[in-house]
Chain A
Amino acid sequence: MTLEEGFFTALALVGTVGALRLVTAKNVVHAALYLVVTLAAVAAVYLLLAAEFVAWVQVLIYVGAIVVLLLFGLMLTRAPIGREALDNQQRGFAAIVAAAVLIGLGVLVWDAFGEAEIELGTSTTADIGESLFRSYILPFEVVSFLLLAALIGAIVLARREEG
């Protein structure tokens, strides 16, 4: 195991523990804070994979915006405390399905990419921007339009009916 793989394993453990605590937390605000831990670990994984722009976008959008939005959602709704109030009756079934997904994906990944290695090159923000605005300009415009549609849709949905 190389140095990078050691660091990666440590980050992956942090992210996995955060995710496990997220789906088992008894308090919804604690769940949101464990989500922050997992998202930060994923951002560090991006940095380790030499994808620095994606890492900072992850910190800005996910940790900065989405978690705050989710916390607002939790505060505007009543949040009971306790596992029975937050979980439904199919925990065992869900665990079986999740284990099947994990085993299936793990076997598949190991079978397909067992010893293949990543040559960590550099990918600067300038490279990403050049690729984005040369090769992927149409998807970029489509995504901006999608954001506009989501903005209007959220306003229309959450607005209080008057009169």
Chain B
Amino acid sequence: MIRVAFPLFFAAVLFAIGVYGVLARRNGVLVLMSIELMLNAVNVNLVAFSQFLADGKFAGQIFTLFVITVAAAEVGIGLAIVILIYRNRETINVDEINLMKW
């Protein structure tokens, strides 16, 4: 027996820390790590609601698996972009990457 507010609040804390990381970090790889934190917060929410609603189809857990898959794809593409930018500009600081800034 566990109150559903516990995992939801844990997820809110993780999400807020991820938001801080994305806004405050300037290293591209660290920004990607903070995004992973936010995705994990969403996954905790999905699993908690899956067990809370107990719909018999485990929809929340299935969607957690999908989110983990999309996160893996996102990290693969994101790191490829980061390494490409590093090769071209010798920096991965996201505040110095302003090629497409109007």
Residues of A within 8 A of B (CB): 2, 4-5, 8-9, 12, 15-16, 19-20, 22-23, 28, 31-32, 35, 38-39, 42, 45-46, 48-51, 53-54, 57-58, 61-62, 65-66, 69-70, 72-74, 76-79, 85-88, 90-91, 93-95, 97-99, 101-102, 105-106, 109-110, 113-121, 123, 127-128, 131-132, 135-136, 139, 143, 146-147, 149-151, 153-154, 157-158
Tell me if B26 and A132 are in contact (CB < 8 A).
no
CB atoms of B2 and A88 under 8 A apart: no
> Which of A58, A73, A77, A97 is within 8 Å of B23, CB to CB?
A97
Q: Which of B43, B52, B77 contacts A116 (CB 8 A)?
A: B52
A4-B51 Cα distance, complex, nearest whole Å: 14
Q: A4-B2, A77-B92, A117-B4 are in contact. Are A143 and B66 (CB under 8 A)?
A: yes
In the complex, what's the smallest C-beta–C-beta distance from B56 to chain A, in angstroms?
Answer: 8
**Given A50-B51, A128-B58, A157-B84, also A15-B34 (CB < 8 A):** no
Complex Cα gap A66–B43 (Å) = 16
Nearest CB in chain B: distance from A103 CB, A: 9
Within the assembled complex, what's the spacing in Å between the Cα atoms of A102 and B18? 11
Interface of B is mostly: helix
Q: Give min CB distance, A136 to chain B, whole Å.
A: 5
Pairs across A and B, CB under 8 Å, 11 listed: A15-B14, A19-B14, A20-B17, A22-B37, A46-B47, A88-B25, A95-B20, A102-B13, A117-B2, A123-B50, A135-B59
Chain B contact-residue range equals 35 or more
Q: Give Cα distance in the complex from A130 to B11, angstroms.
A: 28
Complex CA gap A139/B62 in Å reads: 10
From B14, B25, B28, A38 is in contact (CB under 8 Å) with B14
A93–B23 touching, CB < 8 Å: yes
Residues of B with Cβ closer than 8 Å to A?
1-10, 12-21, 23-30, 32-34, 36-37, 40, 43-44, 47-48, 50-52, 54, 57-59, 61-62, 64-66, 68-77, 79-84, 86, 90, 92-95
B25 CB to closest chain A CB, in angstroms?
6
> How far, in whole Å, are A121 and B54 apart by their CA atoms in the complex?
8
Check B86 against A77 for contact (C-beta < 8 Å): yes
Given contacts A50-B51, A73-B83, A150-B77, contact A31 B57 (CB under 8 A): no
Is the beta-carbon distance between A106 and B9 smaller than 8 angstroms? yes
Q: In the complex, which of the residues A54, A88, A105, A117 contacts B16, with contact meaning CB atoms closer than 8 Å?
A: A105
Per the bound structure, the CA–CA distance linking A35 and B31 in Å amounts to 12
